[in-house]
Amino acid sequence: MKVLIPSALYAYTGGARAEADGETLADVLADLDRRHPGIRFRMIDEQNRIRRHIRFFSENIQICKLDHPLPATGELIIVQALSGG
């Protein structure tokens, strides 16, 4: 599956696109972390929940649960909100 990476995480992947495999969002993120160590922690917290500033989209649908199934040939879009003051 193709994964679109937000610019704040390019340091892990080296760019805007990455590849990862898995049947669910959790599986894809685990594979992405295997290929790019440390990236999962930036999106998933210590309680295994999606961090508040991260959104996942696949097939034009926001994914809110880690057990959400993903198509093998689809595209996962990761969006990271920016904040500051």
How confident is the model over 4-62, as pLDDT tens digits?
A: 999 999 999 999 999 999 999 999 999 999 999 999 999 999 999 999 999 999 999 99
Rounded to whole angstroms, how far apart are CA atoms 76 and 74? Answer: 7
Structural domain boundaries in the chain? 2-80
The pTM score is: 0.92
Predicted confidence at residue 72, as pLDDT, reads: 83
What is the pLDDT averaged over residues 69-77? 93
| Count of CA atoms in the C-beta half-sphere (13 A) of 32 | 30
Domain 2-80, what architecture? Roll (3.10)
CB burial class (10 A; 0-12, 13-18, 19+) of residue 55? middle
Is the per-residue pLDDT at 85 higher than 70?
no
Query: Does the structure show a pLDDT above 60 at 78?
Result: yes
pLDDT class for 84, splitting at 50, 70, 90?
Answer: low
